[in-house]
Amino acid sequence: MDPRSVFEVDIVKLDGAAAAPAEDILVVEEPLEIQVRAPGDAEWTSLSVTMRTPGNDDELATGFLLGESVIRSRQDIASVESWGPFSGEVRVRNVVRVALAESARFDARLLRRNFYTTSSCGICGKASLEAIDAMRPRAVAGTELRVAAETLHALPAKLRETQAVFGCTGGLHAAGLFTPAGECVAVREDVGRHNAMDKLTGHALLAEIDVADKAILVSGRASFELVQKALMAGVSVLAAVGAPSSLAVQLARAFDMTLAGFLRDGRCNIYAGERRIEAA
């Protein structure tokens, strides 16, 4: 567990009407700025500022760029590093700078942050799906991954066992990458569910892990944005402990991704791509 991800605070604990001083451990939330520079550019371009839990910042930035279709593979990245001035031993500005290789698809004049992925933007589902199609997501329709229902039901407990920061704070999202046999490949945590997904897909890309034959489980609900990010990474099976949104289901069905929700207590609903889940 990254020590920067938690923060101890003095509190007053109430037990009925009785008050007593105590200590609590909170998850840290801080801004991170993601900057990009294409070959030949003299200046860095700021693409996004996201509120996140410190740790695995290089993976978060990489996963973000993958989800935005700026990069497609490890070879599209020339370098990725944390940057920012220090005050003593403390970095006072949280920035990750990603230098792109010639193969990356980046035009600062054309790239706009895809805020249609938020639930409040008001853009219709058809426009959102067309926008994803224009981003050239990796094909998952032909993947022959199969996951046994028994294995699927066991994943939430396995994910929970690996959540070190959640165990301390009780207030964190997680995304886990699993083999079809239910073996945990990697888990990433963050105060934001989309950041946890970015950290996980960014880790897989930087480590050159093939995700086409693996499944992802997220600890919360399955939003459109999470399905988008998994799709752009090439994941064909996405499961969530919570509920999916209507647009998340539409997106999964449009691109033949397997999407399961309410995965808990030995039950789940399969909203798309049910052929990849082997029921008894």
- pTM summary value: 0.87
Domain that holds residue 55: 30-134
Contact 240, 220 (CB under 8 A): yes
Given 77, 106, 134, which residue is the final one in a domain?
134
Contacts of 35 (CB under 8 A, 6+ apart): 44, 45, 46, 47, 83, 95, 96, 97, 98
pLDDT per position as a tens digit, 176-205: 999 999 999 999 999 899 999 999 999 999
| Count of structural domains within the chain | 2
Is 51 a member of any domain?
Answer: yes
Strands (E), 16-159: 18-27, 30-37, 45-52, 77-83, 86-87, 90-91, 95-100, 147-148
106 falls within a domain: yes
- Quick: pLDDT tens for 65-89: 999 889 999 999 999 998 876 556 6
| Active-site residue, selected from the candidate residues 121, 124, 168, 184 | 121
| pLDDT on residue 87 | 55
Is the same domain home to 231 and 130?
no
**Cβ(194)–Cβ(174) under 8 Å?**
no
User: What CATH number does residue 169 fall under?
Assistant: 3.40.140.10
Q: What is the CATH number of the domain that holds 65?
A: 3.10.20.10
If asked whether residues 188 and 105 sit together in one domain, one would say: no
Residues 206 and 154 in one domain: yes
Looking at the domain assignment, is residue 79 inside a domain?
yes
Are residues 154 and 245 both part of a single domain? yes
Q: Is 184 among the catalytic positions?
A: no
Residues 114 and 93 in one domain: yes
The 10s digit of each residue's pLDDT in 133-143 is 767 777 676 78
